[in-house]
Chains A and B, each alone.
Chain A
Amino acid sequence: MSFQVPPILAYALRRLLQAVPVIILIMIGTFLLVKLAPGDTVDALVGDMGGADAKFIENLRIEYGLDKPVWVQLWTYMAKLAQFDFGWSFVYEQPVSTVLMDRLWVTMTLMSGSLFFAFTIGIALGALAAWRVNSLTDNVISTLGLIFYATPSFFLSLMMIVLFSVKLGWLPVAGIKTIGGFYTGWDYVLDVAKHLVMPIAALSLIYLSFYLRLMRASVLEISDLDYVRTARAKGADGARLMFHHIIRNALLPVVTLLGVQFSAVLGGSVIVETIFSLPGLGQLAYQSVVQRDMNTLMGIIFLSSIIVVLVNFFTDLLYARLDSRIELA
């Protein structure tokens, strides 16, 4: 009796192995790109300090291993990374893994929250608009989508702050929790949720418009296909036709977009995280570039590459689930 690997596992394993060289290339590329930028960690450190003398600067460079050639630095880094050692952040004076783990949940909450709202509300509104095509409902939804799409997230964020924090006083301006609130349990969750309302709204509204437009177009396209006409001829009524026959198929391109956008949201979150002072990976990535904090930056990129690989993997699984004609291969 031979051992049978379930096809899904074999598929996962193969995908993972394929990702390894990709991630290595990404890491080397990023390392060299950042090294091309003028200045290093010590320059940034000394800049923040307001100056230092030559001996001090030289000591720091030796301490951080920056006196060695770039290839040596790259080799040292990759060798450590192979053992999942992310190194030490000279900027935060902590191990990079600690810095990353402190921030990861904020970004993941922000990303999944905003993608969830964008996706669910987006496809609902898109389907509704397509169902009532060319009606007042459709026009209102489409116009709203256009406005969200055209409004930059920083502007939206600041306007929300002015309205909901400064004028109405309903929501906190910045941060992830009330400092000195010392909340625990549900009070803590509620407090964090309050802090995340505006950032999630700001980040999701733009993406919402993508899903809305894509879903509307997709539903409209599918409504004209032969099998839908057949179903209608066989007497399927409105709701059944919509949910059972149209939406399930219309979702395919939207799911593709979801996979792609998961990686894009990380970029979009830089602005939102900065404005709302959320201690997330997006802001950390930006700061790491400005401060030439190589280890932290590389750690973030490593983590993000893995997330993107995983998300793509799950997208493919979802694909297969939605349309059984698609095989895992």
Chain B
Amino acid sequence: MAGAAVLASTLPAASEDPKRGGTAVIHVVSEQRTLNPALRASTGVYYMSGKIVEPLIDKTYDGVVGVLATDWSSSDDGLEITFKLREGVNWHDGKPFTCDDVSFTAMNMWKELLNYSSTLQQNLEAVDCPDPHTAVFKYSKPMPLDLMVAAMPDLGHPMPKHLYEGTDILKNPYNTAPVGTGPFKFVEYERGQYVMAERNDDYWRGEEYPYLDRIVWRFIKDRSAAAAALETGEIHESGFIGVSMADVERLSKDDRFTVGTQGYENNVAHTTLEFNHRSEPLADLRVRQAIAHGLNIDDAIQTIMRGFAKPGKGPVPSTGGVNYTDDVQTYPYDVEKAKALLDEAGYKPDADGVRLKLRHRPAPWGEYTQLWAEYYAQAMKEIGIEVELLTNDAPGFLNGVYRDHDFDTANGWHQFRSDPAVSTMVWLRSGAPVGTPWTNQFGWQSDEMDKMIDDAASELDPEKRAAMYHAIQAKAMAELPVLFAIEHPFISVTSKKLKNHHNTPRWNSSSWYDLWLDE
């Protein structure tokens, strides 16, 4: 229950004056392979590189704000988007940041190499530089300005052209030793141990920023050891649920720490239940509805997620702004109704009370997903469905579900990335090539839904666009191609010595220029 309420009370009081100096030490569970956010769009990469490399636009609780861009506009036909770039910004090696960098990165990394972005930018034809501080993106089909702006915090990090031009981009050594424009400069990356960054004295926001001298990200794989390191003060923050749920709950009662979900509004994910529509029973809507009615979501939130979550209402989470609606069909916990639906679909219980058997693949994304799968298997017993759990490691899971389609049901996360068009709809649209993870590999096919998704993706009017996404959500909840069961944000455990933390909706991905340490 501690959930969202805890953090709200601990935002810094205005009277506190920031202190300069100190080293913030941050826990990271698994090691990152690259620190180049223009090659890998992942919160794990931004967690570290976001302090070193900045995007054109970032998101705050007051809406989007320009970082390396100061202004943006679109032509009436939607074929041109113009960014005004910030002047007087230098890369960490002293060279000025200009439109050439943006143009080079957009054409060679965002469009060609960056996951998700190659879909977003597939109609990008060129980026022109009429002057060093203006970048004009040219598209062959209309690109909604809203979509572009919503995507930029995650998919819009320019990299220095002079360090990448003429090299093998994927093997460029700066991918693990990034040079950016951010408040912190990369110092070193010791594999298996830590990444360190130090204060950039030439930061464009002015010399009072950043407050910290240094940030160290420590890789601690063992979640119990990480909790112990928090307690001894060796680390100041553990984000993205880096410690076990039992420790999350325990530390939330310890007054040295702030525990909560604030600062992840833009990284909200859904805990899902995914149906293989090629499997005969699940192709029947009544069976999917029965399963939905057989799950006690509120109970699961309290016991598994320890209260840090809420029921899901479709592919867009409640933090999705204008594109979110809660006017959708829901499936309250009702065992009798579930049984009746199964009866109706023709699945009568046999002598042992078993109506049908399902093979379930749980994603190995940590404690959370495993427990949810176990709960699902248990809950299904109540309504006469026997669920066999097939547990794999990550590549095994991705193959079993997305390439071999060897499952009846599966569960995992589905992460929302600022705008429904960026990644959310790929779960509902048919036609993804076999083997592409986190796409519609469930065999659900609806021409109507495909058209709705395509229309929404190129709609320029924000109001119409929102209405179209509402319709998609309503349809997704009525027909249950996949059950977006629980909306769960990530959780941070933060030492109270850290100040100004979790003050933006994608805080752990942001630049931390105003973070300071009171010790």
Binding site for B on A (CB under 8 A): 37-40, 43-57, 59, 63, 88, 90-94, 99, 102-103, 158, 161-162, 165-166, 169, 172-177, 179-180, 274-277, 279-280, 283-284, 287, 290-292
**Tally of A-B residue pairs with Cβ under 8 A?**
167
Q: Indicate the size class of the contact surface on chain B.
A: 35 or more
> B192, A279: Cβ atoms under 8 Å?
yes
Stretch at the interface among B5-13, B93-101, B219-227, B486-494: B219-227
B30 interface contact, C-beta 8 A: yes
- Report the separation of the CA atoms of residues A103 and B31 in the bound assembly, to the nearest whole angstrom: 15
B218 contact set on A, CB distance < 8 A: 174-175, 179, 277
> A43, B193: Cβ atoms under 8 Å?
no
> B222, A38: Cβ atoms under 8 Å?
no
> B225, A161: Cβ atoms under 8 Å?
yes
Q: Indicate whether A162 sits within 8 Å of B228 (C-beta atoms), given known contacts A38-B392, A46-B437, A94-B191.
A: yes
> A51, B196: Cβ atoms under 8 Å?
no
Binding site for A on B (CB under 8 A): 23, 25, 30-31, 33-34, 40-44, 113-116, 118-119, 170-171, 175-176, 190-194, 196, 214, 216, 218-222, 224-226, 228-229, 231-232, 234, 392-400, 404, 415, 423, 426, 432-433, 435-439
Q: Indicate whether A93 sits within 8 Å of B34 (C-beta atoms), given known contacts A39-B396, A279-B191.
A: yes
Looking at the complex, which one of A51, A99, A161, A279 makes contact with B228 (CB distance below 8 Å)?
Answer: A161
- Report the separation of the CA atoms of residues A264 and B513 in the bound assembly, to the nearest whole angstrom: 48
Question: Chain B nearest CB: distance from A259 CB in Å?
Answer: 28
Given contacts A50-B115, A56-B114, A158-B224, 16 further A-B contacts (CB under 8 A): A38-B395, A38-B400, A38-B404, A43-B394, A47-B395, A48-B30, A49-B41, A90-B33, A93-B34, A93-B171, A102-B191, A166-B232, A169-B232, A176-B193, A179-B25, A277-B220
Q: Indicate whether A179 sits within 8 Å of B193 (C-beta atoms), given known contacts A38-B396, A93-B176.
A: yes
Chain A: CB-nearest residue to B436: A54
* 4 A-B pairs with least C-beta separation: A39-B395, A279-B192, A52-B115, A51-B438
Chain B: CB-nearest residue to A60: B170
Can you give 10 contacting A-B residue pairs, CB < 8 Å? A39-B399, A49-B41, A56-B113, A92-B191, A161-B224, A166-B232, A174-B226, A175-B193, A179-B218, A279-B192
B439 contact set on A, CB distance < 8 A: 51, 54
B423 contact set on A, CB distance < 8 A: 51
A94 contact set on B, CB distance < 8 A: 176, 191
B42 contact set on A, CB distance < 8 A: 48-50
Q: Indicate whether A44 sits within 8 Å of B395 (C-beta atoms), given known contacts A93-B171, A176-B193, A180-B23.
A: yes
> B437, A279: Cβ atoms under 8 Å?
no
Question: Chain B nearest CB: distance from A159 CB in Å?
Answer: 11
B118 contact set on A, CB distance < 8 A: 53, 55-56
Chain B: CB-nearest residue to A52: B115
Chain A: CB-nearest residue to B43: A50
Looking at the complex, which one of B113, B196, B225, B397 makes contact with A277 (CB distance below 8 Å)?
Answer: B225
> A166, B33: Cβ atoms under 8 Å?
no
- Report the separation of the CA atoms of residues A93 and B178 in the bound assembly, to the nearest whole angstrom: 13
A93 contact set on B, CB distance < 8 A: 33-34, 171, 175-176
> B115, A53: Cβ atoms under 8 Å?
yes
Q: Indicate whether A180 sits within 8 Å of B214 (C-beta atoms), given known contacts A45-B33, A173-B228.
A: yes
> B438, A174: Cβ atoms under 8 Å?
no
- Report the separation of the CA atoms of residues A219 and B33 in the bound assembly, to the nearest whole angstrom: 53
- Report the separation of the CA atoms of residues A47 and B412 in the bound assembly, to the nearest whole angstrom: 12
- Report the separation of the CA atoms of residues A276 and B220 in the bound assembly, to the nearest whole angstrom: 8
B33 contact set on A, CB distance < 8 A: 45, 48, 90-93
- Report the separation of the CA atoms of residues A88 and B399 in the bound assembly, to the nearest whole angstrom: 24
Question: Chain A nearest CB: distance from B142 CB in Å?
Answer: 20
> A46, B115: Cβ atoms under 8 Å?
yes
- Report the separation of the CA atoms of residues A180 and B33 in the bound assembly, to the nearest whole angstrom: 22
Question: Chain B nearest CB: distance from A81 CB in Å?
Answer: 21
- Report the separation of the CA atoms of residues A162 and B228 in the bound assembly, to the nearest whole angstrom: 7
Question: Chain A nearest CB: distance from B23 CB in Å?
Answer: 5
- Report the separation of the CA atoms of residues A158 and B43 in the bound assembly, to the nearest whole angstrom: 29
A166 contact set on B, CB distance < 8 A: 228, 231-232
Looking at the complex, which one of B216, B393, B397, B399 makes contact with A180 (CB distance below 8 Å)?
Answer: B216
A55 contact set on B, CB distance < 8 A: 118
Question: Chain B nearest CB: distance from A175 CB in Å?
Answer: 6
- Report the separation of the CA atoms of residues A63 and B168 in the bound assembly, to the nearest whole angstrom: 11
Question: Chain A nearest CB: distance from B101 CB in Å?
Answer: 22
> B231, A43: Cβ atoms under 8 Å?
no
- Report the separation of the CA atoms of residues A88 and B171 in the bound assembly, to the nearest whole angstrom: 10
B34 contact set on A, CB distance < 8 A: 93
- Report the separation of the CA atoms of residues A54 and B397 in the bound assembly, to the nearest whole angstrom: 17
A180 contact set on B, CB distance < 8 A: 23, 196, 214, 216
A90 contact set on B, CB distance < 8 A: 33
Question: Chain B nearest CB: distance from A51 CB in Å?
Answer: 4
- Report the separation of the CA atoms of residues A284 and B193 in the bound assembly, to the nearest whole angstrom: 12
- Report the separation of the CA atoms of residues A168 and B170 in the bound assembly, to the nearest whole angstrom: 47
- Report the separation of the CA atoms of residues A104 and B436 in the bound assembly, to the nearest whole angstrom: 36
Looking at the complex, which one of B170, B225, B229, B394 makes contact with A290 (CB distance below 8 Å)?
Answer: B394
- Report the separation of the CA atoms of residues A166 and B228 in the bound assembly, to the nearest whole angstrom: 6
Question: Chain B nearest CB: distance from A289 CB in Å?
Answer: 8
Q: Indicate whether A103 sits within 8 Å of B192 (C-beta atoms), given known contacts A39-B395, A166-B231.
A: yes
> A50, B415: Cβ atoms under 8 Å?
yes
- Report the separation of the CA atoms of residues A90 and B118 in the bound assembly, to the nearest whole angstrom: 21
Chain B: CB-nearest residue to A54: B433
> B116, A53: Cβ atoms under 8 Å?
yes
B404 contact set on A, CB distance < 8 A: 38
A162 contact set on B, CB distance < 8 A: 228
- Report the separation of the CA atoms of residues A88 and B33 in the bound assembly, to the nearest whole angstrom: 13
Question: Chain A nearest CB: distance from B247 CB in Å?
Answer: 12
Looking at the complex, which one of A51, A99, A103, A158 makes contact with B115 (CB distance below 8 Å)?
Answer: A51
Chain B: CB-nearest residue to A42: B395
B25 contact set on A, CB distance < 8 A: 179
- Report the separation of the CA atoms of residues A283 and B192 in the bound assembly, to the nearest whole angstrom: 9
Question: Chain A nearest CB: distance from B458 CB in Å?
Answer: 18
Chain A: CB-nearest residue to B415: A50
Which residue, of A44, A49, A99, has the highest number of chain B Cβ atoms within 10 A? Answer: A49
- Report the separation of the CA atoms of residues A102 and B214 in the bound assembly, to the nearest whole angstrom: 24
Question: Chain B nearest CB: distance from A184 CB in Å?
Answer: 16
- Report the separation of the CA atoms of residues A46 and B394 in the bound assembly, to the nearest whole angstrom: 10
Looking at the complex, which one of A49, A165, A179 makes contact with B216 (CB distance below 8 Å)?
Answer: A179
